[in-house]
Amino acid sequence: MTAAKRANVTLKDVATAVGISQSAVSMALSDHPRISETTKEAVRAAAARLGYVPNSAGRALRAGRSTSIAVVVPNTGQHVFGHPYFMHLLVGVTAEANARDAALMVSTNPDETHGVAAYERVLRSQAASGAIIASASISDRNVNRMVEAALPVVLVGRFVHLPHAASVGIDEIAGAAAITRHLVEDHGLTRIAHISGPLDHQTAVDRYEGFRGALAASGRPCTHTLAVGDFSEESGRAAARQVLDSMTDLQAIFAANDEMAYGAMLEIRSRGLRIPEDIALAGYDDFGVSRLTTPGITTIHVPAEALGRKAADILFDLLDGTAPDPVHTVLPFDLVIRESCGPHSG
Amino acid sequence: MTAAKRANVTLKDVATAVGISQSAVSMALSDHPRISETTKEAVRAAAARLGYVPNSAGRALRAGRSTSIAVVVPNTGQHVFGHPYFMHLLVGVTAEANARDAALMVSTNPDETHGVAAYERVLRSQAASGAIIASASISDRNVNRMVEAALPVVLVGRFVHLPHAASVGIDEIAGAAAITRHLVEDHGLTRIAHISGPLDHQTAVDRYEGFRGALAASGRPCTHTLAVGDFSEESGRAAARQVLDSMTDLQAIFAANDEMAYGAMLEIRSRGLRIPEDIALAGYDDFGVSRLTTPGITTIHVPAEALGRKAADILFDLLDGTAPDPVHTVLPFDLVIRESCGPHSG
DNA sequence: TTGAAAGCGTTACCAA
DNA sequence: TTGGTAACGCTTTCAA
């Protein structure tokens, strides 16, 4: 009786209350046809009265798998976990997990004990029966290991070196190309800087590639430059400083995410330049705050919640053994045109 | 062999590999003094070689409690779960849980099956051995039930009707008073509107109370008015519209959180009024984006991450039975002065 | 229609 | 110093 009284009601308690056996109670509660309706009635009443809740450890042990799934987000750093992307993802995963009566674990610590990442232990210990991995770093070897060990995982994002793993994502290259075309074709801007994310993140690589590809495909003489950030607002500001200093007559900045675009906005403003009159600005992600700035930032809307939902969906299928061959699911994105690139013109 | 091969290494496997008994392996791995060093060595080697990871269901069943804790956030609505507050809270809880090698479950669905909220089931099923509850609604009966059932929970926020439950929070009344004094005393503003959150949230009530109290205590003739929002940016804008229309010569708006302050900012701007020259603006929370606006919004910094960390800390103590009597832990806040109330003068 | 018993993986107690 | 065994709560097979 230290902290909380542990008066856990078990099957046996219900059984003695009703005056039947434990196994009969178990079957009654799972609506097994071999139990009479009257008995079931009595069992259900007693269970409710006593407040019986099945013990998940017992159930998991018996079943050989738990009813939880895990979401793995990289690092312990606020940078990444604090990013709104993960919250949106979590909302989606939660919704799907709730719909399936599964519990959700969140794991962030890649800290290796005995060479096994914390989240791999979560799976191997069967605390969770499968995982959704939102780690974006190409160089994260833990992801490889889990995939190679054939653990039930679904990756969020694109992992070019893991073609056989199930994954969900959007076509980042197409997204970046779409927004670049918007700058070039709709607004006639040809001197553009890109602020990329860290290039060991596939997302950053893809967005940069989409940017360059669209410029090349535009058929116009475009000049571009690159500054590398780390997806944080501060790094966006620093990168903007760099490109504003280095490229004369810069007409537009396309940041690989909205937070870096905010940073760029601060830097542009601090130089007394106007958006979009002097410099056009575009972002990527659209997690809620882009519309709050003045002007609103034109961006690509990433359906993070839908991604989470779909990832969970695939994971559950995987666990049920009903999954199709490992697939790469690609969800659609939207180009959201606000005011930061100039008046809309097509 | 449907989805993933399940070749789970158990204690028995290690035991047969080493040629000793299961229980000896168990003790060896937990470094029990009664096992010889040579045996321990052999056991550890075999365990590592075979990739043994203890099964958490078996362990939890045996121990009568799991090693997970749960974080409960209200509702399934994006409104709340998507709020940056919870991200910060989660970061803190995660850090502390990681430090204790505990897994973290996240539960959001209050959807009641058999009259028991989903997150109560998580506790009762012992999937998690304790919970941190970040539900803010005064009228959430589930919180009462869990506290009354003496389940090991720590509340985040103030629950006046649950004086015996452990809780962490900040002094919201003092926070609102501090920012109100800043408006009145540092800037000499006396015609102030408050945009509150929903008044079935203790946080909203407390911040409103702090506001009124500070005005009353100021000894100056102040005029104030109230509009009620729901902590969302949209509602902040609507509330600002209302107070700007109703109160002539309004000098300042104090919104009960930053998001509503953003909304107010949009409304103020759309009327061609300047901040802070025509209207001063203050917010509350300081979850990262207040500094991005122009001007930056003066606000109260709520140490959400520290709250999460502390809540987890208390919960673990509670579970260990080493907790002091249920306490209300109050963490300090900071008044963060930016530009939205005018040039700093005191 | 129901009861008894076995076994999932772990740990702790009691023998040896 | 160690091995056997029982028990945690649950489901399921086998026996009645």
| Residue pLDDT, tens place only, A254-276 | 999 998 999 999 899 999 999 99
- Exposure of B294 by Cβ count < 10 A (0-12 exposed, 13-18 middle, 19+ buried)? middle
A20's tokens: 């039947």
Q: Which nucleotide is nearest to B15 (CA to C1')?
A: D3
Q: Is-above-0.75 flag for pTM? A: yes
How is domain B68-170+307-332 classified at the CATH fold level? Rossmann fold (3.40.50)
Contact list, A148 vs chain B (CB under 8 Å): none
Contact list, A109 vs chain B (CB under 8 Å): 94, 98
Q: Among A160-174, A303-317, B139-153, B238-252, which is the least confidently predicted range?
A: B139-153
Q: Nearest protein residue to D13's C1' (by CA)?
A: A23
Q: Nearest protein residue to D6's C1' (by CA)?
A: B62
Mean pLDDT value across chain B: 88
Which is it for strands B334-336 and B299-301: parallel, antiparallel or unpaired?
A: antiparallel
DSSP tag of B296: P
Strand C–CB B10 distance below 7 A: yes
Q: Round to a whole number and report the distance in Å from the CA of A124 to the C1' of D15.
A: 37
**What pLDDT does A59 receive?**
92
pLDDT(B346) > 80 = no
**What pLDDT does A4 receive?**
34
pLDDT(B129) > 90 = yes
- Determine whether the interchain pair A84/B88 forms a contact, defined as Cβ–Cβ distance below 8 Å: no
User: What is the rounded end-to-end Cα distance, in angstroms, of chain A?
Assistant: 71
User: What is the rounded end-to-end Cα distance, in angstroms, of chain B?
Assistant: 71
CA A141 to CA B264: how far, in whole Å?
Answer: 47
CA A182 to CA A19: how far, in whole Å?
Answer: 74
Contact A279, A141 (CB under 8 A): no
Is residue A117 very low, low, confident or very high in pLDDT (cuts 50, 70, 90)?
A: confident
Contact A338, A297 (CB under 8 A): yes
Which nucleotides in chain D lie closer than 7 A to a protein CB?
1-13
**What pLDDT does A67 receive?**
92
DSSP letters spanning A204-224:
HHHHHHHHHHHHHHH-S--EE
Contact A184, A220 (CB under 8 A): yes
Query: Which of A56, A95, A125 lies at the smallest CB-CB distance from B54?
Result: A125
**What is the helix (H) or strand (E) element at residue A300, kind and residue range?**
strand A299-301
CA B287 to CA B234: how far, in whole Å?
Answer: 18
Contact B281, B268 (CB under 8 A): yes
| Domain locations along chain A | 3-54, 68-170+307-332, 172-302+335-341
Residue B48's closest chain A neighbor by CA?
A114
CA B294 to CA B281: how far, in whole Å?
Answer: 12
**What pLDDT does A6 receive?**
42
Query: Which of B60, B151, B294 lies at the smallest CB-CB distance from A57?
Result: B60
Q: What angle do CA A276, A280, A286 make, to 5 degrees?
A: 100
Contact list, B319 vs chain A (CB under 8 Å): 3
**What pLDDT does B79 receive?**
53
Query: Which of B6, B57, B114 lies at the smallest CB-CB distance from A48?
Result: B114
Residue B110's closest chain A neighbor by CA?
A98
pLDDT(B137) > 90 = no
**What pLDDT does B223 receive?**
95
pLDDT(A304) > 90 = yes
Mean pLDDT of A183-195: 97
**What is the helix (H) or strand (E) element at residue B145, kind and residue range?**
helix B141-148
Q: How far is A59 from chain B (nearest CA, A)?
A: 8
Q: How far is A297 from chain B (nearest CA, A)?
A: 13
Looking at the DSSP bridge assignments, the partners of residue B153 are: B131
Residue A232's closest chain B neighbor by CA?
B288
**What pLDDT does B3 receive?**
31
Fold identical between B68-170+307-332 and B172-302+335-341?
Answer: yes
Which nucleotides in chain C lie closer than 7 A to a protein CB?
1-13
Cβ of residue A60 closer than 8 Å to a chain B Cβ = yes
Q: Around Cβ B179, how many Cβ atoms within 10 Å?
A: 26
Angle between helices B258-270 and B233-246 (to 10 degrees): 50
Residue A113's closest chain B neighbor by CA?
B101
Q: Round to a whole number and report the distance in Å from the CA of B154 to the C1' of D3.
A: 44
Query: Is the preceding peptide bond at A110 cis, omega within 30 degrees of 0?
Result: no
Contact A10, A55 (CB under 8 A): yes
Looking at the DSSP bridge assignments, the partners of residue A113 are: A116
Q: Which residues of B20-39 are buried (b: 16+ CB within 10 A; e: fewer)?
A: beeebbbbbbeeeeebeeee
Cβ of residue B103 closer than 8 Å to a chain A Cβ = yes
B306's tokens: 């520290």
- Determine whether the interchain pair A108/B88 forms a contact, defined as Cβ–Cβ distance below 8 Å: no
Contact A199, A227 (CB under 8 A): no
Candidates B66, B105, B294, partner chain A, best to mutate (most A CBs within 10 A): B105
Q: What angle do CA A307, A308, A313 make, to 5 degrees?
A: 95
Contact A332, A303 (CB under 8 A): yes
Map residue A240 onto helix, strand or coil: helix
Nearest CA-CA partner of A174 in A330, A341, A9, A12: A330
* Range A172-302+335-341: architecture per CATH: 3-Layer(aba) Sandwich (3.40)
A344's tokens: 């809309």
Higher pLDDT, A5 or A115: A115
Contact list, A116 vs chain B (CB under 8 Å): 53
**What pLDDT does A169 receive?**
96
| Residue pLDDT, tens place only, B139-148 | 778 888 888 8
Strand D–CB A59 distance below 7 A: yes
| Residue pLDDT, tens place only, A41-97 | 999 999 999 989 999 999 999 998 899 999 988 765 555 556 778 888 988 998 899
* Range A3-54: architecture per CATH: Orthogonal Bundle (1.10)
Binding-face residues of B in 290-309 toward A, CB within 8 A? 292-294, 305
Is residue B292 very low, low, confident or very high in pLDDT (cuts 50, 70, 90)?
A: low
Contact list, B151 vs chain A (CB under 8 Å): 4
**What pLDDT does B175 receive?**
98
Dihedrals phi, psi of A116, to nearest 5 degrees: -115, 125
Nearest CA-CA partner of B95 in B334, B343, B304: B304
Query: Is the preceding peptide bond at A221 cis, omega within 30 degrees of 0?
Result: no
How much of chain B exceeds pLDDT 70, in percent? 90
Contact A222, A252 (CB under 8 A): no
| Residue pLDDT, tens place only, A222-263 | 999 999 999 888 899 999 999 999 998 999 999 999 989 999
| Residue pLDDT, tens place only, B52-76 | 999 999 999 999 889 999 998 876 5
Is residue B81 very low, low, confident or very high in pLDDT (cuts 50, 70, 90)?
A: low
- Exposure of A295 by Cβ count < 10 A (0-12 exposed, 13-18 middle, 19+ buried)? middle
Q: Nearest protein residue to C2's C1' (by CA)?
A: A24
Query: Which of B57, B292, B294 lies at the smallest CB-CB distance from A233?
Result: B292
Q: Which nucleotide is nearest to A59 (CA to C1')?
A: D10
The 3-class SS string of B47-96 reads: HHHHCCCCCHHHHHHHHCCCCEEEEECCCCCHHHHCCHHHHHHHHHHHHH
